[in-house]
Amino acid sequence: MTKLIVFTDLHMVPEGATIIGLDPYQRLLAGIEHVNRYHADADRVILTGDLTHRADTQSYERLRDLLSLLVPPAAITIGNHDYRERFLETFSHVRPDENGFVQQAIDFDDCRAVLLDTLFAPPYDYPRSHAGYLCERRLAWLDSALSSAGDLPVLLFMHHPPHRTGFTGMDAIRLSNEDAFYDIVLKHGNVRHIFAGHVHRTIGGSHRGVPFSILKSPVHQQPMPFDTPNASLSVDEPAAYGIVVVTEDGLQVHNEDYEIARRDAEIA
């Protein structure tokens, strides 16, 4: 049974900087230590974008050094807070696809994991590039990755949710070409689950018949009111990562609030 750990929305900052008073470095370090202690047997740690907060080189270097502490191997894609070329300069071991996008397909015994690059840039013109987009080349790559999966069910990992989540502000900057994406997904019929981040909430359900999970950040979370148009609101709630376990009959998705997790609880 393949086991995958999923981190999203790391928002690394330069040394000494914080986000709403929180230190992304220390929060992610605690998560890495938790993974190494309890899930060192994971087949991969997958990181689904917004690796840094401002896409500066120092933050990428801090993140690179921090991820080197992981016991399981890591696989990475990027989000709207990232800068593709700067990321690839710092993470020189990461191989982009033939068109320069940060995406890859990884085969395990019981599934294929496909990581998509949904960054709508260059040009890096905010706020336009906060929305996600899959250009024709990336859609063609996805089509090929699904077509060549054989009998393996596919797990898709991407930063931007490919549909509405109910959060007005975040829905305005979701994947902007949802129909083109789902046309390919539904054509092949082998996508077992879609994983995304971006919203900084734990959300699960299905869309167009395909199950999905959106996972929390190890740093700051989105407050719950659905109807706010402000996509940058942040609150201090427990840091988390996802645990995905492929089973003979499907898969399981767990959310680990590692900052408050206890293993010695007793019933009074």
Answer whether CATH 3.60.21.10 is correct for domain 3-256. Answer: yes
| Cα 147 from chain centre | 23
Provide the residue ranges of all domains of the chain, joining segments of one domain with +: 3-256
Residue-averaged pLDDT of the chain: 95
CB 87 within 8 A of CB 49: no
* CA neighbor of 82 nearest in space, from 59, 65, 100: 59
Average pLDDT (231-260) is 94
User: Phi, psi (5° rounding) for residue 67?
Assistant: -65, -20
CA distance 221 to 240: 10
Phi, psi angle pair for 101, to nearest 5°: -90, 150
In the structure, what pLDDT confidence band is assigned to residue 225 with cuts at 50, 70 and 90? Answer: confident
Nearest-CA neighbor of 43 among 96, 107, 94? Answer: 107
Amino acid 230: pLDDT: 83
Question: What is the average pLDDT across 119-146?
Answer: 93
Query: Could you tell me what percent of the chain has a pLDDT over 70?
Result: 99
Residue 85 has pLDDT above 80, yes or no: yes
Beta-carbon count within 10 A of 136 CB: 9
pLDDT at 266: 67
Higher pLDDT, residue 173 or 227: 173
Q: Is the pLDDT of residue 260 over 70?
A: yes
pLDDT above 80 for 216: yes
Residue 127 pLDDT level (bands cut at 50, 70, 90): confident
pLDDT digits (tens, 9 = 90+) for 26-61: 999 999 999 999 999 999 999 999 999 999 999 999
Mean pLDDT of 235-246: 96
* pTM, rounded to two decimals: 0.96
CA distance 219 to 240: 8
Query: In angstroms, rounded to a whole number, what is the distance separating the alpha carbons of residues 233 and 217?
Result: 13
The pLDDT assigned to 267 comes to 65
Provide the 8-state DSSP code for 129.
G
Token pair in block for residue 93: 């071991």
pLDDT of residue 268 exceeding 70: no
Could you read off the pLDDT of 197-206 as tens digits, one per residue?
999 999 999 9
